[in-house]
Every structure is written in structure tokens, then in C-alpha cells.
Amino acid sequence: MKLHITQSDYEALRVHGEETYPHECCGVLLGHARDDGNHVAAIVRAGNTRTDSAHNRYNISPMELIKIQREARKQGYDIVGFYHSHPDHPAMWSSTDFAEAHWFGCCYVITSVEKGKSVLTNAFHLSGTTEEDKAFQHEEILITQAAGENA
Amino acid sequence: MKINIPTPLRAFTDKQATVEVAGETVQAGLDALVAAHPELKNHLFTADGKLRSFVNVYLNDDDVRYLPNTEASAVNADDELTIIPSIAGGTGVRASRSLCCR
């Protein structure tokens, strides 16, 4: 299983983390789930509602997520994952990320942003079907040149 | 009414993104959904029958938790329910603490 994403979308989510530094950015990956992994066709920036602790927390409001999902369906896409940044922290999921992860089958992309510059981007697939058996599995990011679904 | 199913729960609705159910209230709609797709029950509700904390249900553009009648709110045939799990996280640590992973 790999995350298939275009170079431009990959760069865009990394730039987003630089723009919001020292706060966390967040956004949604749209596309299609296929047998070989999730294929990203577009990314959508989202607002971080955790203004009280934006340096180490993110939350996307459900209503914003619903609006993103509505627009995605009009274009024939589904939500296949999410991304956020870790300002001055590794590109590794945290205990908070794990506890708050409920989108089984989706990909969680994390970019470490050190001193305002994006460094490493990792992808983690949320496997399992329940809160008891869920797990994050490191997923290879496959950069595509054309549309994500053509990879 | 139409109920929009999020990506992670479609494994329990025969891959359907939307499910049509009958019911005059939000609760009736959810009950009908679970009756048609029993595996959803544990994903949506706690053992005492309450919506799990990370499961959000919207009646059109309104969070059901904040409607005056919550799950007892009346629903018309052309209304939409949307189930949307929360999405949140972050490093969750102060700058002086190490990252905690399992």
C-alpha cells in the first residue's frame, strides 16, 4: 500500500505547514481508495479550530469537513486522508494523533516543520476497523507527475 | 431521509456512500440505519446507547447535539443526515517534552 500524490500537491501541503508555522496546519486529501493504496487527486486546506493551542494541536470543524466532503463528491472524489504539520517536532504520529484517529483506511500525512522550514513528510495508514484494533502503519509516499489517480 | 456515510464506515454499509432510510426523527433514522447495517452499531454508539464522543451527526448543516431536541429532532423526507468522525491531533506535547509514540 502506498500513498499516491502529485508533486504539486505534495509540495502544497508542505508549504502550508511553513505558512502556519509555528502553528500546526491541517487539511484534507481527496481522491480514490484503490487496491494499491489511496490516490490523491486534490488537497484542500482547512482551518485549525484549536486556536487555544495551535502550536501543538489541530482540529478541523465537522461542518467544514462536511462542506469539503460535499464539494468532493460533486467532483467524484472521496476523503482518503488528512495532513497536518508538527512544528519543531518529528514527522511521526504522536499519542494524541493516535488517540484522535478514527478514519480507518485513510492516510494521515505529517510534516515536520523546523524553524519554519518543512523537513520530512511521512504518511501513516490507519488500519483496523475498531478503536481496539486500530494501528498506524508507515506508508510509502509515491510521488506522481500527472493526476494522482493515473499513477 | 438520506444518511451520508463517511469513508471509514462504508465497510459496514456494503460500500454505500449514502443510505436511504425511513424515520420521522434523527434517532429513528439512526435506528433504521443500524437495523439495516448492524455492524455499524458499535462504531456509532457506546454500550449505553449514546453516540460515541468522536462521532458527529449533522442534520443538514446543524450539529444534532446542539439542536433543541437533539436526537429527537423531527426530520423530513428530503433532509440529510451526515455522519462525520472527528479529525484532530497534533504533537500534543510541550516543547520541553519528548514525543510519545507507541
> Measured between CB atoms, which of A58, A93, A104 is closest to B88?
A58
Distance CA A91, CA B90 (A): 11
Considering chain A, what percentage of its residues have pLDDT values greater than 70? 96
Taking CA–CA distances from A77, the nearest residue in chain B reads: B7
CA distance to partner chain A, nearest, from residue B22 (Å): 22
Q: Is residue A82 over pLDDT 70?
A: yes
pLDDT of residue A52: 86
pTM equals 0.92
Average of pLDDT values for A74-96? 96
Pairing of strands A78-87, A107-114: parallel
Q: Where are the alpha helices (DSSP H) in chain A?
A: 7-20, 62-74, 95-99
> Measured between CB atoms, which of A66, A80, A84 is closest to B90?
A84
pLDDT tens-place string over residues A107-150: 999 999 999 999 999 999 999 988 999 999 999 999 998 654 44
Average of pLDDT values for A97-101? 96
Closest CA to A65 of A79, A86, A83, A84: A79
Contact across the interface for A94 and B90, Cβ inside 8 Å: yes
CB < 8 Å to A24, chain B: 90-91
> How much is the ipTM here?
0.88
Q: Is residue A57 over pLDDT 50?
A: yes
> Measured between CB atoms, which of B11, B87, B91 is closest to A89?
B91
CB < 8 Å to A65, chain B: 84, 87
